[in-house]
Amino acid sequence: MGIGFLRHNHKHSERVRSHTATRAERTSAMFLAVAGARASYLLPSAFPAAVSSPRPRLLALPRRCRPYGSHASSPAASRRRPRRLLVRAARTESTGVAVGFRAPHFELPEPLTGKLWTLDDFDGNPALLVMFICNHCPFVKHLKKDIAKLTSFYMEKGLGVVAISSNSIVTHPQDGPEQMAEEAKLFKYPFPYLYDESQEVAKAFGAVCTPEFLLFKKEGRRPFELFYHGQFDDSRPSNNVPVTGRDLSRAIDCALSGQELTFVQKPTLDAASNGTHEGADSVVCWQQIDGPFVSQI
């Protein structure tokens, strides 16, 4: 009985091993079939050049990716806003030429009459006031009426006066010759209002802002030399100080009477550009950039 039981168990074990081997072979075959199916998707069988390669190459699946910077592919980015030059005004002082500086020669047209004026036209005057102004500058607008009154008063005493506009009409058509002529009529300027289209005269005088006042005087046959380079008075468009012309009138009195200045010259604190735009009562009339003056605001 014992031997029969052992024989029976031995046969049963062989059948179990045979059945297990059959299942393992079947499972292995299924695995190889699945792996082969998956590999068929990856092998570039459709491309002869790839098949001939000794080593199979896997095809990279396509990926939808955005270029560096997600905004680059957005419709809004393709519609770029036009670039705008933003220019902000900033105050500057009328410095640059010193007392004793000789008045440079100029020859400029007067839009109102068409006459050409030169420095020699004022040779008979003991003193000459050269003003750099324009039509649109708020600082000039603040003083226009008083400038006309003051210059008219002193021109009767022998003072020579000339006003010059050096603004670019490309950026400010309101400062063009026709508008200058209208301005001279409207405010009844007693002095010639000249147009410096090339802006060379402004640079020759060292003008950096508007309004800018340069008072020259001469003795005998000597050329005009700078006597006063400063403000009209302490009034500004926003400080509520009355316009009196006190500083400039005192300087003219000294120049005409042959006296020395008895007070400290205060530079004109007016408009010039710092490259940006807007600001309380600051405005720019021109700026020197790589040579030429460029009108702003």
Reply yes or no on whether the pLDDT at 176 is more than 70: yes
pLDDT tens by residue, 185-204? 999 999 999 999 999 999 99
How much of the chain, in percent, has pLDDT values that exceed 90?
51
Reply yes or no on whether the pLDDT at 27 is more than 80: no
pTM surpassing 0.75?
Answer: no
Least Cα distance to 164 among 138, 128, 124 occurs for 128
pLDDT at 296: 38
**126-140, 157-171, 217-231, 261-275: segment of lowest average pLDDT:** 261-275
Reply yes or no on whether the pLDDT at 155 is more than 80: yes
pLDDT tens by residue, 239-253? 999 999 999 999 999
Q: Residue 19 to residues 11, 30, 116, 175, 283: CA-CA distances in angstroms?
A: 12, 17, 122, 108, 101
Q: Count Cβ neighbours within 10 Å for each residue of 167-198 and write b for 16 or more, e otherwise.
A: bbbeebeebbbebbbebbeeeebbbbbbbbee
pLDDT tens by residue, 41-93? 444 444 444 444 455 454 444 444 444 444 444 455 445 554 443 334 444 45
Cβ(270)–Cβ(91) below 8 Å: yes
